[in-house]
Amino acid sequence: MTTEFTGQRPQTANLEDPLYYLSNMDTIVSWVADHHADLLTDRERNRLSAFANLGTGPRALLTRMVMRTGELFRADKLRYPELPVPEADALKLLVQEGWLDNSPELSLDDLFRLFTLAELRPVIGGWLQQQGHPKTLGKAQMRELLAEPFSEPRPLRDWMPDDGEAAQVVQLQDMALFDRIRLMFFGNLRQSWTDFVLVELGVQQFEPVPFTPESRAFQHRSEVDCYLQMHQCRERLDKGEPAADVWPDVPGPVDNPWLTSRRDRLLLELGRQAERQGEQELALQVWAASGHREARLKQLRLLERMKRFDDAWAIACQWQSKELSDAEAQGLGRLLKRLAPKVGADKPEPVDNPPLREFTLTLPRPDTGTVELAAVQHLSTEAAPVVYVENTLINALFGLLCWPVIFKPIPGAFFHPFHIGPADLTREDFVARRAQAFEERFGLLKTHAYKQHIRDTFRNKQGIANPFVFWPVLDEALLELALHCIPAHHLDALFRRLLHNIKEHRSGFPDLIRLVPDAEQPEQRYEMIEVKGPGDRLQDHQLRWLHFFARQGIPASVCYVRWDGDEASV
């Protein structure tokens, strides 16, 4: 049984300490040992305890080696002047304690990676000359000639018998354990040790999240094993292994929403590889098994290219009844339009988007600054200030109102005390797993209470990392203006659309906002303005926001800027 996590942030290092990376590694090891002990074997727990009991020098050297790429290292190349003991002494102890093997078997590739051409020639050049080859061959040519006769791995002393003492190679013995604890700490294997170990964590403020055994993403060791198996499958795909060979090794469906989303992403990529490799039926099978939001459209487009129009039409019509993001709906609409004539169906009615509000400004070309700042300077008045906010303001208002939901400790959301935001933020089930909590926060918009909640959070959480709040651009004056000018029902509509697809909808907001605090009607107190300079055009995600504004009655317009006297911009 694990004890309840206290939520207390561990001690972190200061970059002025030359061994700061070791302090951060100690944090990771102790965190996993304390909070995930039940997911480790007896041997793994003993090894982590042995790591903690190593002297500072050997522990620091081992950390440096774990942080580097690969498991094989030349002892004479390990030079870290900050160590409190000589590297040779630290290496000797690490070998004695079983952390390093000082006589590993090296393949020909290992040998050529670890040693220079100048070092290899005295040893291998003689053999090449005996075979009738010049001693001056380049490294690639030498490697090619040696591939067949020297295909078996062997210790360094057998490769280089005369230089056995001069160049020692050591191999890390517990990388699988370090990868396992990296996974349990970060919640993924995408982040490297340097993402944490070489960061001065004290510079950033993090929201304290209460950790409990129930909030862990991994409840059983088998779930960690499942993730590692999926990671191995992804690595095999990245190395170009045929998708048909990888597919049988992909774990089946799992009863863990967080792992399910990881599996869906793996299947999305496996399907892509299968299609590229000409395995179209496999791609269809894999995408059908994936719940990733991109998989269905890829499946339909492939069916269309295979001229299986009836199959594609049937799936598309069924999918059309689901709740879709704007991008999905747009892609599906285009596909249905193409498929309809092929299956003898009526083309779907085009989406009747309301017209956009547009105006043009002709301004003197500025010596410095952007087109957005030129528009701000022209449009802003004392009674109606215009502020360059782009994606920051609406996101910040959402982040401040929904702070308790964003940092709700549910499984798969937080793995350690140093998260900027929940790890599942952009996954498909992020909102569904917090639906009731979000509704409770949105309920505040029906009263005046929401304003005070946002103000209190702004003051109490100042500077704490939040994936929706960019503190440098949000001051109290702007916050008060926004709360006064933007009606609550508009915020409700904006926030709900933001949650519909966070990854897609966090961007695309207009560049500027005009705030008119003394306007008589709430709907007249603000306007969002997208600025487009000469030659620039609206992007799809910007258009989708603008059409949404028009349907909701949210004041927004597009400002086309032209430079005075520039005929090319007209």
Q: What is the pLDDT of residue 198?
A: 57
Q: b or e along 266-305 (b: 16 or more beta carbons within 10 Å of the residue's beta carbon)?
A: bbbbbbbbbbeeebeebbbbbbebbbbbbbbbbbbbbbbe
- The string of pLDDT tens digits covering residues 515-554 is 999 988 878 899 999 999 998 999 988 999 999 999 999 9
**Is the separation of the CB atoms in 85 and 118 below 8 Å?**
no
**Is the separation of the CB atoms in 260 and 291 below 8 Å?**
yes
Model confidence, pTM? 0.77
Q: Which domains does the chain have, with CATH numbers?
A: 1-103+168-197 (no CATH), 105-155 (no CATH), 221-342 (1.25.40), 357-563 (no CATH)
Spatial distance between the Cα atoms of 257 and 433, rounded to a whole number of angstroms: 9
> SS3 breakdown of the chain: % helix, strand, coil, rounded to 5?
55, 10, 40
**Is the separation of the CB atoms in 181 and 29 below 8 Å?**
yes
| Angstrom distances, CA of residue 147 to CA of 112, 207, 218 | 11, 55, 44
**Residues of the chain with confidence (pLDDT) below 50:** 1-9, 164, 569-570
**Is the separation of the CB atoms in 297 and 328 below 8 Å?**
yes
Q: What is the pLDDT of residue 269?
A: 96
**Is the separation of the CB atoms in 336 and 320 below 8 Å?**
yes
Q: What is the pLDDT of residue 369?
A: 79
DSSP 115-134: S-HHHHHHHHHHHHHHTT--
Q: What is the pLDDT of residue 321?
A: 63
Q: Identify the bridge partners of residue 558 per DSSP, sorted by sequence position.
A: 358, 530
Residue 23, token pair as written in the block: 């302090």
Spatial distance between the Cα atoms of 557 and 537, rounded to a whole number of angstroms: 14
Q: What is the pLDDT of residue 216?
A: 84
**Is the separation of the CB atoms in 379 and 386 below 8 Å?**
yes
Q: What is the pLDDT of residue 91?
A: 95
Q: What are phi and psi of 191, to 5 degrees?
A: -80, 135
**Is the separation of the CB atoms in 379 and 373 below 8 Å?**
no
Taking alpha carbons only, the member of 318, 312, 317, 272 closest to residue 295 is: 272
Q: What is the pLDDT of residue 202?
A: 57
**Is the separation of the CB atoms in 458 and 479 below 8 Å?**
yes
Q: What is the pLDDT of residue 137?
A: 79
Residue type at position 354 = P
Q: What is the pLDDT of residue 265?
A: 92
| Angstrom distances, CA of residue 535 to CA of 458, 546, 570 | 39, 19, 9
